[in-house]
Amino acid sequence: MSFQQQLQQAFFEQQISGHSIFIKLNDGEFVAKSSQIENNNEQNFYEWIQHIEGYEEFFSQYNGVVILEKNQEVSIQETINSQQKWLNSLISKRYNPNNKKYLLLENLTQNSQNLRILDLKLGYTVEKQSHIQRYQDSTSSKIGLRICGMKIQENNELVMFKDKHWGRTISVLELIESLKTFFSLKNRNKILKEAIDKIESLKLFITNNCKQVISWQGTSLLLIYRNDNDFKIKLIDFSNTKVNPESTEFNVEIIKALNSLQDIIKQI
Ligand SMILES: Nc1ncnc2c1ncn2[C@@H]1O[C@H](COP(=O)(O)OP(=O)(O)O)[C@@H](O)[C@H]1O
Ligand SMILES: [Mg+2]
């Protein structure tokens, strides 16, 4: 699919983490995630998972590869708050209009503004040499969870933004405190129960349908709260995910990390 002039493009203002560039299309109908030419892992993953019935409950809906021609000046926001500052810095470092290949994904934020978004990287260990230390020195090695980004917005105001560098420095207790802050809602108990139930269903989905995934390294659980009737959890980021069609046993590490998250949510 190639999107030309008719599609309106803008940088995706709800991105809170990562090194990829996200372009919002048609005012947020979709997001397009930049895809490296030399690494097809994420595309391969989505092309595999999209055939599994019900995957959209736990993953962003995948709509194929798009070639984005830069059709106008992609608009950049003025620097007003810390998240926008982070995003503008990412764009100035990473946006390359010559990289035209993007994965077309469902926009999990549905274009809402007042959101709570938490990106939690799952897993205790990593193979990539340059990442080993950051797992060992952070909450990852202890509880299989690390905050890669967190944002709370209320009444169109940014109340809190934390980036991945902060997430690497905090203790387990601070991570638990951050989860408490994330869930400090009027209907807190209802949403906490929903979170536990949704994680339970996700674990079932993985054990029943994802035996071919031999490694989920780098994958995050994205938690998005819009209101009491709209809270979701989705797995994102499959640039290092490995699928082996021969594999017959599900990956234990991701289940352990999800159990750990459930245990923490139960005690907050
Ligand atoms: N489908 C999506 N809808 C909305 N936001 C998304 C979606 N996928 C990712 N994001 C946002 O982009 C950030 C980075 O995404 P990710 O896939 O982890 O990129 P990277 O591979 O660069 O780490 C997430 O923390 C989240 O804020
Ligand atoms: Mg990521």
Q: Which two tokens stand for residue 82?
A: 């810390």
Rg (CA), the chain: 18
Ligand 1, atom 17, residue with closest C-alpha: 237
- Cα separation, 247 vs 105, in Å, equals 27
Ligand 1, atom 20, residue with closest C-alpha: 18
Q: What is the DSSP letter of 19?
A: S
**Per-residue confidence in pLDDT tens, the chain, 268 aa:** 555 545 788 899 999 999 999 999 988 989 999 998 888 999 999 999 999 999 999 999 999 999 998 766 666 667 689 999 999 999 999 999 999 999 999 999 988 889 999 999 999 999 999 999 999 999 999 999 999 999 999 998 999 999 999 999 999 999 999 999 999 999 999 999 999 999 999 999 999 999 999 999 999 999 999 999 999 999 999 999 999 999 999 999 999 999 999 999 999 9
To which residue do tokens 């962003």 refer?
60
Burial code (b: 16+ CB inside 10 Å, e: under 16) for 92-107 equals eeeeeeeebbbbbbbb
Asked whether 60 lines ligand 1 (CB < 6 A), one says yes
Which helix H or strand E contains 1, and what residues bound it?
A: none
Q: What is the DSSP secondary-structure string of 102-129? A: EEEEE-TTTT-SS-EEEEEEE-S----H
The whole-number pLDDT of residue 80 equals 84
Asked whether 237 lines ligand 1 (CB < 6 A), one says yes
Ligand nearest the Cα of residue 163 is 1
C-alpha 210, offset from chain centre:
19
The whole-number pLDDT of residue 118 equals 98
C-alpha 51, offset from chain centre:
21
The whole-number pLDDT of residue 208 equals 97
Q: How far is the CA of 146 from the centre of ligand 2 (A)?
A: 11
Q: How far is the CA of 61 from the centre of ligand 1 (A)?
A: 13
In the chain the domains, ranked by start, together with CATH numbers, are 2-106 (no CATH), 116-267 (3.30.470.160)
Q: Which two tokens stand for residue 11?
A: 């940088």
Tell whether the torsion through CA atoms of 128, 130, 136 and 141 is positive or negative.
negative
What's the Cα-to-Cα distance from 143 to each of 93, 133, 138, rounded to whole Å?
32, 15, 9
Among 164, 212, 186, 195, which Cα is nearest to 267's? 195
What's the Cα-to-Cα distance from 45 to each of 92, 176, 210, rounded to whole Å?
28, 31, 11
